[in-house]
């Protein structure tokens, strides 16, 4: 990774790394020693810096807290067996971040700021990239509006920051998901394809209802008819029907997942049939009944590939084939993991060395 800018670095007096149990990482619970921070005002980005991770003070009227101009990304850095650090597809996350920024009327972050901040931060905190199998350093770039003003308007000041968290598996068991027929995550014309904080806030209540009823996650459906599948929880969703990989086409209501795209590239590379289109609930239920639904799984940065064991729809549990008998998702996960850790050749140019 080439650094266009060299940011000033203030290092921690004492690293917190010895307090972290790298063999038992909870997602997003521990944070690396440093963070990258840069502020925007008067129509331009100021001087970025890398500083010790820690709390910020803010005015209670800070715009993001009231009107939700807040966006984020998620990407991961991996350690190779030789101890080198590499980041998975940062360009894709950078591009999506700025698509989210535009949708939320926030300033775009120039590529050289995003990439230089990212690579310098990961270099400073490279000891925080876990080498344990299945673990990685989750990187969270985000931006919030910082105006101290209660009028509803597009803010004039913003903060862009990057923080990092060493993580293991997001889900510890196969998922039971419930087809959501009442609530909506987003609607056509809304901000569903932006990684905007508010999308996640709106999903919490229906997700809690499903979790109280014994499910891990929801299978979101379209807001207009609740009959077409969109995403599962915080992930894109994929199905193996007979020998075809079927997944909802991305558009205004579905996030353009980087893991989703990577799975499809690997599947096509194996010569498999890949079908990106509208996917009806009815089709999935009848494929499950007929035994043609071989696999279902979520795909996302945090979750990577999360197998689905049960789809609950309109009061009925559809049990999918046992996880141990599945071949597609586990082998894709293996290949993806090996590309990320450098154990398999990076044929698609996805990995960026730090």
Buried b (16+ CB within 10 A) or exposed e, 93-104: bbbbbbebbebb
Nearest to 120 by CA among 158, 83, 90: 90
Interface characters, 224-253, with ligand COI (x: CB under 6 A): ----------x-------------------
Total residues interacting with ligand COI, rule: CB under 6 A:
5
**Are the C-beta atoms of 74 and 200 separated by less than 8 Å?**
no
Nearest to 195 by CA among 244, 248, 236: 236
Tell me the residue number closest to ligand COI, measured at CB. 74
Residue 258 C-beta: closest distance to ligand COI, Å: 9
CA 89/CA 196 separation, integer angstroms: 20
Whichever of 262 and 293 has its CB closer to ligand COI, that residue is: 262
Establish if 190 lies at the interface with ligand COI (CB under 6 A).
no
**Strand pairing category for 229-232 and 175-179:** unpaired
Whichever of 74 and 166 has its CB closer to ligand COI, that residue is: 74
Residue 168 C-beta: closest distance to ligand COI, Å: 13
DSSP assignment string, 282-318: HHHHHHHHHT-EEEEEEEETTTEEEEEEEEEETTEEE
CA 314/CA 27 separation, integer angstroms: 32
CA 255/CA 193 separation, integer angstroms: 4
Residues 124-143 that bind ligand COI (CB under 6 A): none
Whichever of 69 and 301 has its CB closer to ligand COI, that residue is: 301
Establish if 74 lies at the interface with ligand COI (CB under 6 A).
yes
Q: Which of 217, 221, 232, 301 binds ligand COI (CB under 6 A)?
A: 301
Whichever of 76 and 79 has its CB closer to ligand COI, that residue is: 76
Residue 10 C-beta: closest distance to ligand COI, Å: 28
Residue 200 C-beta: closest distance to ligand COI, Å: 6
**Chain contacts with ligand COI (rule: CB under 6 A):** 74, 234, 300-302
């Amino acid at each position: 990774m080439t650094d266009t800018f060299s940011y000033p670095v203030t290092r921690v007096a004492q690293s917190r790394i010895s307090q972290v149990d790298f063999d038992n990482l909870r997602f997003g619970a521990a944070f690396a020693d440093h963070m990258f921070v840069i502020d925007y005002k008067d129509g331009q980005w100021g001087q970025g810096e890398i500083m010790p991770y820690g709390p910020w003070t803010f005015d209670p009227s800070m715009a993001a807290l009231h009107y939700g101009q807040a966006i984020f990304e998620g990407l991961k850095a991996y350690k190779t067996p030789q101890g080198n650090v590499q980041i998975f597809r940062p360009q894709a996350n950078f591009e999506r971040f700025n698509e989210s920024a535009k949708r939320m009327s926030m300033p775009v972050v120039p590529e050289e700021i995003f990439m230089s901040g990212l690579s310098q931060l990961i270099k400073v905190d490279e000891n925080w990239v876990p080498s344990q199998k299945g673990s990685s350093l989750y990187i969270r770039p985000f931006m919030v509006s910082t105006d101290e003003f209660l009028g509803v308007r597009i803010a004039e000041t913003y903060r862009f920051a990057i923080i990092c968290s060493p993580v293991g598996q997001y889900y510890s068991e196969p998922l039971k998901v419930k087809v959501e027929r009442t609530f909506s995550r987003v609607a056509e014309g809304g901000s569903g394809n932006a990684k905007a904080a508010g999308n996640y806030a709106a999903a919490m209540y229906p997700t809690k209802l499903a979790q109280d009823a014994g499910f891990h996650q929801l299978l979101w459906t379209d807001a207009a008819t609740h009959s077409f599948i969109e995403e599962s929880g915080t992930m894109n969703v994929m199905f193996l029907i007979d020998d075809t990989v079927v997944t909802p086409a991305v558009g205004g209501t579905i996030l353009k997942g980087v893991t989703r795209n990577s799975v499809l590239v690997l599947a096509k590379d194996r010569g498999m049939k890949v079908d990106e289109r509208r996917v009806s609930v009815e089709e999935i239920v009848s494929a499950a009944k007929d035994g043609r639904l071989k696999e279902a799984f979520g795909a996302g940065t945090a979750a990577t590939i999360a197998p689905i064991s049960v789809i609950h729809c309109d009061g009925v549990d559809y049990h999918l084939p046992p996880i141990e008998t599945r071949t597609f998702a586990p082998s894709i996960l293996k290949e993806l993991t090996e590309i990320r850790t450098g154990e398999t050749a990076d044929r698609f140019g996805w990995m960026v060395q730090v």
